[in-house]
Structure 1
Amino acid sequence: MEKPSWVPTLVAQACLCFSLYLAFQLGQPQKPMYHGTNGTRPLDLYFISVGGGFRPLNQQTHLLKQMEKVVKKYKAKFVVDISDLGKDDPLMQNGTLLFSSLKLPWYTTRVSERHGGGYFQKKINLPYEKTLDVIVVDTGLLQGTGSLGGFGNNQLHWLKRTLEATSSNWRIVVGFHPLAICEDGEEGMGAKKVFESLQLIFMKFEVNAYLSAQGCASSVRRHSLSYLGNTGQMEDGFLLHRVSTLEIVTYFVSSGGEVVHKSVLHQRGKEIM
């Protein structure tokens, strides 16, 4: 009688070892999609802010696909669209039309000079009966030389009343133009003076953060106020914000889906970069 071959036995043992290894790996927690975000936190609120505007179709589609991945993974509740076009912004229009996961509330800025109405407030509920205010302003009404026009003054009065009346734990103001000036010089000082009245209101009513298009840096700290800038069409990406009762963590996600910058804003005003 021939001896049984050792080959089938070896193959069977190898298959058994591979099956055990596969079962073990499937039982392990998976790494988050973006390194450094440490996975989702069920009690925290996630939202995205992004620079709108016109882009080549393939570039726009790629950006929207990256946003869709983040919305699905972190269950983001809304999108803040930093644009000068308002509801006519093509990024918002195509995102909500072509991507089912992006059919979320989009809060969009706009820039106008001769008519008001581009400013509004959204109150977002957080766990433990806390709230987040997202206040959108039309910075176009505040530009120009000389005294503010009627619409600009109306907006500032509305902003003061809104901030004075709110009892929200977090207050984020959103506008198209960056307010923080990093460079010295006559041009930089002039740009700062245009929005001086707006910044004084932020300081008086303890606004936590101002979201805008990116100025000289993606994140700037002045006193207790954090300025967060979204990149435009030249360097695509977006911001993922995680809001808890004690802190707001902001991740800059590149067009390649990698976190390249992170900032943490604590409730008491201390920021860690």
Structure 2
Amino acid sequence: MMGNGRDRPSWAFTLLIQVSLCIALYIAFYLGSPQRSGNGTRRALDLYFLSVRVGHRPSNQQTQLLKQMEKVAKIHKVKFVVNVSEFGKDDPLLLNGTLHFPSLKIPWYTTRASEGQEIGYFLKQITLPHEQMLDIIGIDTGSLHGSLHMKQPSDTGSDQLHWLMKTLAATDSKWRIVVGYHPLVVCEERKHAMEATKIYDPLHHIFLKYGVNAYLSKQGCTGHYTLNEGIAYIGNPGNTDENQNGFLLHRVTPLEIVSYYINSANEVVFKSKLHQRGREAM
């Protein structure tokens, strides 16, 4: 009986410790859960999309690239793909991706460089989870490419510029991304190196006036990313650029767009961040 009496305080003390730990764990969980829930909610409200440039890739490289894209699309629940191409809907990457890879059977918005043979520009408006709009505006740089070194565009290019201004003036989306095949930077070779001389002024002035946030294209002489007067010029490398075989993952939030270039080794080669800005020039 004496032994049992001595055990009671020990048992009660152990129970008290366990109850105290449970209460402390509950308080910690209760206090911590709003922060975790808040971060999770913000992440859930982010929109992800991919952009890729095909280039002249062998079929085995295309297959590898599509497998990588599908894996990333599954993880981030990617909503669409921007395909920087000169072939339009005849692009082999688009055809193979939407045919053979289930997670890539999502909308593909594909550029075209038709040099005036047909209309190659479009507007796609995407509703963002945070009650905002994202404009994806494709332009046909084939009709503009020949005039990149000149101050004035051709007649076909002028028609497209008028369409672009009219389209931008009629929308009020928070994020506006213009997509074309050719980069808008004129480059010249100086002392055995390619150097940028100027950005194609007609389009750059339109971007400034109507609050365009970014221009997506194939990679030019300026590299992956150039920020000019608040406008991001983002280049998609092809397999001939630095021998890379990859794509861009873009995360759109209410305040910024973050872009990650993922190479064939599933490594993030570079990361760029574009903050939302006002449209003071409008």
Provide the TM-score with structure 2 as the length reference: 0.76
Which piece of structure 1 moves more, 147-156 or 83-92?
A: 147-156
Q: What is the aligned partner in structure 1 of residue 16 from structure 2?
A: none
Q: What is the aligned partner in structure 1 of residue 232 from structure 2?
A: 226
- Superposition pairs for residues 1-273 of structure 1, below 5 Å? 41-145=43-147, 147-181=152-186, 192=198, 195-216=200-221, 217-234=223-240, 235-268=244-277
Whichever residue aligns with residue 150 of structure 1, its letter is: D
Q: What is the aligned partner in structure 2 of residue 9 from structure 1?
A: none
**4+ residue stretches of structure 1 with deviation over 2 A?**
143-151, 180-185, 187-190
Alignment partners' CA distance in 1, 2:130 and 2:103:
27
RMSD: 2.3
How big is the shift at 1:207?
A: 0.7
- SS class of match (1:47): strand
How big is the shift at 1:204?
A: 1.2
- Aligned CA distance change for structure 1 residues 189 and 50 (closer, same or farther; 3 Å): closer
The answer to whether the 8 A contact 1:180-1:227 is kept is: no
How big is the shift at 1:153?
A: 1.4
Provide structure 2 residue ranges, at least 5 long, that are not aligned to the other structure: 1-39
The answer to whether the 8 A contact 1:218-1:229 is kept is: yes
- SS class of match (2:162): helix
How big is the shift at 1:233?
A: 2.1
- SS class of match (1:161): helix
Alignment partners' CA distance in 2, 1:215 and 1:108:
19
How big is the shift at 1:182?
A: 6.8
- SS class of match (2:45): coil
How big is the shift at 1:188?
A: 6.0
- SS class of match (2:67): helix
Deviation by residue 1:14-40 (Cα, 9 ceiling, x = unmatched): xxxxxxxxxxxxxxxxxxxxxxxx9x9
Provide the TM-score with structure 1 as the length reference: 0.78
How big is the shift at 1:205?
A: 1.1
- Aligned CA distance change for structure 1 residues 114 and 127 (closer, same or farther; 3 Å): closer
Provide structure 1 residue ranges, at least 5 long, that are not aligned to the other structure: 1-37
The answer to whether the 8 A contact 1:53-1:89 is kept is: no
The answer to whether the 8 A contact 2:247-2:261 is kept is: yes
